Structure 1
Amino acid sequence: MPSQVLQRREVHSPPARIAASAATTDGVHLSTEHFDSWLTERRTANTFRVDRIPFTEMDGWSFQEHTGNLVHRSGRFFTVEGLHFTEDGQPHGDGPPSDWYQPVIRQYEVGILGILAKEFDGVLHFLMQAKMEPGNPNLLQLSPTVQATRSNYTKAHKGGDVKYIEHFIGPDRGRVVVDVRQSEHGSWFSQKTNRNMVVETTDEVPLQDDFCWLTLGQINELLHRDNVINMDSRTVLSCLPAADTSAGALLSDTELLSWITGERTRHCVRTERAPLGHLPGWKRHTTAIEHEAGRYFNVVAVSAQAENREVTGWTQPLFEPVGPGIHAFLTREIEGTPHVLVQAKVEPGLVDTIELAPTVQYTPHNYAHLRDEEHPRFADSVRRATGDRIRYDAVHAEEGGRFLNAESRCLIIEADDTDAPLDPPPGYAWATPAQLTSLVRHSHYLNVQARTMLACLNATKTRTR
């Protein structure tokens, strides 16, 4: 094949075009320096309000008589019910106790998290939405072009159309760049997945209010700011294809997959449904369902208003953690190749026992009553990191449609052999970013926190080139 043809294919390959977009920090529609004023304008253009309310003031939601489960009268959207988790065999580190009850969100529908891409002046841009979610600490964050459950885009709520949904379903959608089902929070959802998509179009796309075109370079810059890029955007961005630079990995791809399979095999996990109204250790009050120890999370109710949503006013339950979390990747160069330390984390709501998680993923408040040595492994390495060793540090919120004020400090930290040995303890392994990018092309390998951290890692690599 002629060399000029090979070069042309390389330039126009998805990884090359994505890399070019990541290297472009000003877009044709909105410059980075004008982004803040645009977002402020979108925030003031509409009325947003969220109020906590008693459970009895929720419209359409009620507790079932016999189970105490919290359900919607339509039978759609989601339910809050109980879950009983048990595990036999080897310990699994920072996870639930081996016999554990908790409330959980059960949502059978597979939603669409879709980002529309289009080339302007030879550079890929991505259509992002300034979307209000009732659980967001600052209400308005950048979401994917489409962030909708099946109930939303089939209009079970009897509201307006989901904008741009036609680009992601049906025969006339554009060229698919990413299409993979990924898990949501395994600690709070029961086997919930969403379809993560990036679709490129060559059609004219009318620009609606609350939407803007940004290059990947601009999005990566915004990922360094607190609470701007929402969780759904982060998980989709983590799935973007990249050039294969997996040479030099401590574990070969086959060895890494074998390690994951071994971790899934050594944990014997069982989950079963339990009535929400009869969960040991949990009590329901007028405004909250909470654990008697004052730890973990609460189930609360809110009333929300947003003039630019498909439905402008509604009520719903939300899960509210008792404090902010910490998600951290420890990184090392091993024989000249960057690696990150991942853990095989058991979570009650996962489909397949474990998924790869950040090195450290925990809520410090839940461990405040314990000695430091009883905190999760490597938490001390994160706590004592300072200065140049911290390569990335930002606060990001979890999914604001189901979780209230659920923020986590996301950190990427350069480690040494004292912090993170090359021969890590059971349940941990070194992997290259390229290996994680390869795994995230498939379902149920990286949990949602690890996908956020992968998006942050990619943003950090772009900034330091």
Structure 2
Amino acid sequence: MTLAHGTATQAAGELHDHGPADGFWDFARPAGGPVAGIAEFRHWFARQARAHRYAVDRVPFSALSGWHFDADGDLVHESGGFFAISGLRVRTDFRRPRAWAQPVIVQPEIGLLGILVKRFDGVPHLLMQAKMEPGNVNTLQLSPTVQATRSNYTGVHRGRRVPYVEYFMGPRRGTVLADSLQSEQGWWFLHKRNRNMVVETRDEVPLLDGFSWLTLAQLGELLTTDNLVNMDSRTVLSTLACGEPAPGLVDTVADPYRRAALRSLAPRYGSVHSLHEVLRRLTDSRARHELVQRRVPLRDVLDEGLWRRTETGIARPDGRHFEVIGVDVRAERREVGRWSQPLVAPVAGLSGLFVKRIDGVLHLLLEARVEAGTLNVCEYAPSVQCSPSHQGAGERPELLDRLLSAPRERIRYDAVQSEEGGRFHHAVTRNLIVEADDAFAAVEPEGYCWVTLHQAQALLRHSNYLNVQARTLIACLQLGLF
């Protein structure tokens, strides 16, 4: 297959590949700054976990302070803010015609996820936070500088002020490197999006308790640890366009896989499809597939009998998909010290990305995928995205068995990562990046598309092109190159 070169991205109009992040790929500079290394960070993180007391207890719905079931059977907060557990009726022809009803999280407000960047000795460092979330499997994970719902940063909860939020709102004190609205999990949320921002500052930034400066290389190493870097950090990191590595740098890389991945970041090395074609294929899927969504009272979903509500949960009798539960939370270092809320507790998931070197350039195999709550019919998703334990006859994705049977030497990334702990209880996904062998056809199945890293970066400057599972894998792949 011959790759297209030159002006592949120009045909897409305002979408482009060149970002303002200068010097991110200069590997020759020593990593100075306030953190000496990963070992020091791990000691700091362990101290953070020991220094504060947290408790999360499952409780019946009747014990959720401030929450109640309204006349429609929806689980809502007395303030009218935060979010609600409502009902959703869906009809789609994706893969096969089907229709169903399910509970869904309705949270119309747009949250803010922001990472602050500052250079120490010329090396970019990112300000990250050790943050407790009630649904985290291990309580404390590494979050962005700012991770806040509108209810948080506007003070609906009447709690403490969100630290560092002034760098991301109003007259900003720095250079905006990334700023886009990105979706969250389409199977559990209805049309949910967050603002993902990266801002670089030259200010002297006071380092508050619970925050740490880390380099991209350090974050890349931490992403190989299970359940450490949280979902909100991963989605913001995916939107940070690190620019193109210089040709001289690429040519000095001995490992063929890593060299192909670095070439994937630069348009000059070409791609199977132009960015115009990548967009056209997604548009074609959006026009070709049907996705009819109708919010309905949760009572209507329960009346159908497939979902049942008890004093302690809302779930299917067969245990499939997820359960809605209630928790009571005590957290010393949160904006509010104690609260209660519902959480969605899903079964374990799998996200798998096939990558392939095509004419020396690494390409990612993405699928235009429909999900129940997606805002615009479908988004590009990983090659495989499913809950393996719930794949019945005729339901297993075409590429699942091929992914799971990949030989060890072709697995480029394998880690379990948590989904967002503010809404989901112990939601974990195994994330796999597998390099396809020569027998893997370069011609994509219908609905799939080979995309380079620089094309993915261009798409991530805008909203609703790549889903949150794809963004996690792109962040893990890209930061693993540093």
Instruction: Report if TM-score (shorter chain) is over 0.5.
Output: yes
- Relative to structure 1, the CA distance from residue 352 to residue 445 in structure 2 (aligned partners, 3 Å threshold; closer, same or farther) is same
Give the alignment partner of residue 460 of structure 2, picking from 422, 440, 449. Answer: 440
SS at match of 1:14: coil
CA–CA distance in 1 between the matches of 2:56 and 2:233? 22
- TM-score norm. by structure 2 comes to 0.88
Aligned positions, number: 440
Deviations 1:157-182 (A, max 9, x none): 11100011111111143211111110
Give the alignment partner of residue 401 of structure 1, picking from 422, 438, 445. Answer: 422
Aligned to 1:352: 376
Aligned to 1:44: 50
Please list, as runs of the form range in 1=range in 2, the aligned pairs for 1:20-419 lying within 5 A after superposition. Answer: 20=26, 27-65=33-71, 67-88=72-93, 91-92=94-95, 98-241=98-241, 242-243=243-244, 245-246=266-267, 247-279=269-301, 280=304, 281-322=306-347, 324-367=348-391, 370-371=392-393, 374-418=395-439
Give the alignment partner of residue 449 of structure 1, picking from 458, 461, 469. Answer: 469
Letter in 1 for 2:88: L
- Relative to structure 1, the CA distance from residue 421 to residue 24 in structure 2 (aligned partners, 3 Å threshold; closer, same or farther) is farther
SS at match of 1:18: coil
CA–CA distance in 2 between the matches of 1:225 and 1:320? 22
CA shift, 1:341, in A, is: 0.7
CA contact 1:439–1:445 (8 Å) conserved in 2 = yes
CA shift, 1:385, in A, is: 1.1
CA–CA distance in 1 between the matches of 2:453 and 2:466? 12
SS at match of 1:99: strand
Aligned to 2:441: 421
CA contact 1:116–1:145 (8 Å) conserved in 2 = yes
CA–CA distance in 2 between the matches of 1:21 and 1:271? 48
CA–CA distance in 2 between the matches of 1:53 and 1:297? 17
CA–CA distance in 2 between the matches of 1:347 and 1:30? 43
CA–CA distance in 2 between the matches of 1:173 and 1:240? 18
SS at match of 2:56: strand
CA shift, 1:459, in A, is: 2.4
CA shift, 1:236, in A, is: 0.3
Structure 1: 5+ residue stretches without partners: 1-11
CA contact 1:186–1:349 (8 Å) conserved in 2 = yes
CA contact 1:26–1:217 (8 Å) conserved in 2 = no
CA contact 1:346–1:354 (8 Å) conserved in 2 = yes
Letter in 1 for 2:180: V
CA–CA distance in 1 between the matches of 2:407 and 2:103? 37
Letter in 1 for 2:175: R
CA contact 1:30–1:214 (8 Å) conserved in 2 = no
| Superposition misfits of 4+ residues, deviation over 4 angstroms | 21-27
CA–CA distance in 2 between the matches of 1:405 and 1:354? 26
- Relative to structure 1, the CA distance from residue 453 to residue 22 in structure 2 (aligned partners, 3 Å threshold; closer, same or farther) is farther
Structure 2: 5+ residue stretches without partners: 1-17, 245-264
CA shift, 1:227, in A, is: 0.8
CA shift, 1:310, in A, is: 0.4
Letter in 2 for 1:443: S
CA contact 2:32–2:120 (8 Å) conserved in 1 = no
Aligned to 2:12: none
CA shift, 1:27, in A, is: 4.2
Letter in 2 for 1:392: Y
CA–CA distance in 1 between the matches of 2:45 and 2:279? 42
SS at match of 1:86: strand
CA–CA distance in 2 between the matches of 1:198 and 1:459? 15
CA shift, 1:13, in A, is: 7.3
Letter in 2 for 1:133: E
CA contact 2:118–2:124 (8 Å) conserved in 1 = yes
CA contact 1:295–1:365 (8 Å) conserved in 2 = no
Stretch deviating more after TM superposition (240-249 or 287-296): 240-249
SS at match of 1:35: helix
CA contact 1:24–1:216 (8 Å) conserved in 2 = no
CA contact 1:69–1:81 (8 Å) conserved in 2 = yes
CA shift, 1:318, in A, is: 0.4
CA contact 2:32–2:121 (8 Å) conserved in 1 = no
Stretch deviating more after TM superposition (23-32 or 153-162): 23-32
- Relative to structure 1, the CA distance from residue 26 to residue 413 in structure 2 (aligned partners, 3 Å threshold; closer, same or farther) is farther
CA–CA distance in 2 between the matches of 1:36 and 1:206? 21
- Relative to structure 1, the CA distance from residue 99 to residue 174 in structure 2 (aligned partners, 3 Å threshold; closer, same or farther) is same
CA contact 1:389–1:414 (8 Å) conserved in 2 = yes
SS at match of 2:351: strand
Letter in 2 for 1:319: V
CA contact 1:390–1:411 (8 Å) conserved in 2 = yes
CA contact 2:21–2:177 (8 Å) conserved in 1 = no
CA shift, 1:288, in A, is: 0.6
